[in-house]
Amino acid sequence: MAALMLGQQARHFSSSVIRPASKLIRPPIMVYGVEGRYATALFSAASKQKSLELVEKELITVSDMVKDPKLSGIVMNPHVKRSIKQTTFTDLLSKANISPITINFINVLADNGRLPLTAGVIVAFGKMMSAHRGEVLCSVTTAQPLDEASLADLKASLKGFLKKGESIELETKMDPTILGGMIVSIGDKYVDMSTKTKIQKLTKLIRET
């Protein structure tokens, strides 16, 4: 009986949210792939209910749940029935006082056999929310950690890419294999200034002469 009710909720949410593109409230950025499509549907539903911030907060709780080995051992196991996965997950969400819109969305994923994509959908939704707040995601990869002075100079330079009302959300990574320099990804722009790439270009040029 419980599984039947959950299935009805999932179908209701799916039919009321995942509609033709013209009826969707589009997020400020598009995230492609299956995860992106589900995240777009959730963004649209949450926008219509003025619950974007609430859903974003609740998805952090959902993300922590998915990382729990006990839960993931059930909901991510292809040999466990969908109804059992759905009931197990929904019971935990209800106990955590998660709102109906988030619970119903998880039911959609479960009903469609997409629970293994939960983490990816959450990441995609987070990107949409960052763009919604005017945050521009920027990833900088260096061979060694940047000192405070270099980091401050980098942030100042990156501001030149921003439009009015936007702010930088900077993520720094380390990859010793690039040898030196840096690789910068900001919005839809990608600049490779690594020593490794420079050496590869130089090597190619020498071989062609």
* Per-residue pLDDT reduced to its tens digit, 10-22: 444 544 444 444 4
We report the CATH number of the domain holding residue 104 as 1.10.520.20
Domain C-terminal end among 88, 110, 130: 130
The parts of the chain modelled with pLDDT lower than 70 are 1-22, 188, 209
CB-CB contact of 169 with 135 (8 Å)? yes
Report the C-alpha gap between 100 and 74 in whole angstroms: 22
Burial zone of 52 (CB within 10 Å; 0-12 exposed, 13-18 middle, 19+ buried): buried
Q: What is the pLDDT of residue 162?
A: 80
> Which domain range does residue 145 map to?
134-208
pTM comes to 0.67
